[in-house]
Chains A and B, each alone.
Chain A
């Protein structure tokens, strides 16, 4: 079963990440690197991406002629999607365990950030029997 783990981050997180002490930034990056390596070694990795800073994020809608109409960026938004993983695991419990592990990524002073990670199942194809 495939799940997406969406790592949400308060906007202040983006703003302050750069002002963490150098060792803490390195520890955080090393944690994420090792987390991904472990997913690969366990045969559970499908995809992982971090998203660029939301400062320039735009909302896009199609105009009357189908042309893109952009809105934003929205400086007042409190939380952003910072990145996501797609994992292929044997159970929902396993997806939760992985999300908890990612949530505890180290922040300033090495303390766990306990970031909120939204876990949702990726939909699959047709069911096995459909009568």
Chain B
């Protein structure tokens, strides 16, 4: 978990706090009908917990403690807002004496909060920040350091996000059935982005970066518990587990990238692979698989190959075919899926078949200048024995990537062939 401001805060307390945050927030939003203020109050209660729990010990009922402290903060706020709201404040004071009254609402509240924080009116960075704070129970300081921005910047981003939600006029309730699928898709996308942030954040403490992936996995687990029958929720959780399982093998001692084909597979996390594969096994037979399930299935095939030469490429290609069909043709389709499919085609039918596909893909304006197109072409040219062409394309890819470790990797690939 992300280190708390107080080092003595135990991982168990941290886990508990994360679990309870959305529940406490749900109770407060129901009671006070003001998401923005309630969220601030819960944040203050979290900070209070970080300083008081290590000193005074874990409260007998941590959930009630959080709700009580946050309610008190809310009441203070309300008091300052004078007579207009006096009645509600009084009601709140009475209410927090019995914080267990809304226990049953806790599960749904977490889901409603996720829908709210991943609101379509928010930009991805805003939705990510708000989700981590309101549902994930991270403090603003922790989110700011994970994203390497100053704390006031992150605080503003979160405040803006809450204003946007307020202005959109949505209340604290479950989206209607007509929009629920679309809204769930957004929630999954935001969790996916948080997971990826664990990889892609620029320099800064490694610990914080990988913990974003851990937090995304935790949130996906929560979502899977709430919606156990949703195949894509299970698929996303499986995809995260199966991808994260390779973390220890993914980079060398100096942070240099190690591609899948060169990784020491004994470093892969077998328990995580087993868990991801079991999730998939339980989900795939249920019917039409969505994009996350298919990607997870591809990740599983890679993970389950004991040696790189054992990789079941025909099966991976079949899955990419499904994924490609699912994502549709250009311009609506996902060009990265088509690009990965070209690699699978090359592995099954030989590099020239893959290269032919790349020629067709290069016309897609989203790929024309994309470094991945150059990197894949370089790789396939190398497989086909065209060293000179491979060197030129590795270099072209290196020039175009915004990732520092990837740039270094691509430059080294070119140098290796000289």
Contact = CB atoms under 8 A, between A and B. Distances in A.
B202 A41 contact: no
Interface in B65-117: none
Nearest to A94: B123
Contacts of B148: 2, 46
B244 to A, nearest CB: 12
Given A88-B125, A123-B404, A128-B199, 11 more contacts: A2-B148, A44-B153, A45-B149, A46-B150, A88-B149, A124-B200, A125-B201, A126-B406, A127-B406, A128-B196, A130-B406
B154 to A, nearest CB: 7
A131 interface: yes
B231 to A, nearest CB: 21
Interface in A98-131: 121-131
A90 interface: yes
Say what secondary structure dominates the interface of chain B.
helix
Contacts of A130: 250, 257, 259-260, 406, 409
A43 B157 contact: yes
A19 to B, nearest CB: 35
Given A42-B160, A45-B150, A126 B250 contact: yes
Interface in B381-418: 401-407, 409
Contact of B404 (A1, A2, A124): A124
| Residue among A40, A41, A125 with the highest chain B CB neighbour number at 10 A | A125
A88 B199 CA distance: 17
Interface of B: 123-126, 147-150, 152-154, 156-160, 196, 199-203, 209, 243, 250-251, 257, 259-261, 302, 340, 343, 401-407, 409
A72 to B, nearest CB: 30
Contacts of B402: 1, 121, 123-124
B123 A90 contact: yes
Say what secondary structure dominates the interface of chain A.
loop
A42 B148 CA distance: 16
A90 B409 CA distance: 26
Contacts of B124: 90
Given A41-B156, A90-B123, A125 B200 contact: yes
A129 to B, nearest CB: 8
B163 to A, nearest CB: 11
Nearest to A91: B123
A88 B260 contact: no
A125 B156 contact: no
Contacts of A90: 123-125
A112 B209 CA distance: 42
Interface string A25-46: 0000000000000001111111
Contact of A45 (B153, B201, B343): B153
15 contacts: A40-B153, A43-B126, A43-B153, A124-B402, A125-B201, A125-B202, A126-B200, A126-B251, A126-B406, A127-B199, A127-B401, A130-B406, A131-B259, A131-B302, A131-B340
Contacts of A43: 126, 153-154, 156-160
B397 to A, nearest CB: 11
Top 7 closest pairs, chain A to chain B, by CB:
A43-B157, A123-B404, A43-B156, A128-B196, A124-B202, A127-B403, A126-B405
B209 A125 contact: yes
Interface in A56-114: 88, 90
A44 to B, nearest CB: 7
| Residue among A42, A88, A122 with the highest chain B CB neighbour number at 10 A | A88
A124 B153 contact: no
A40 B401 contact: no
A108 to B, nearest CB: 33
Contacts of B405: 125-127
Contacts of A45: 149-150, 152-153
A118 to B, nearest CB: 16
A125 B408 CA distance: 11
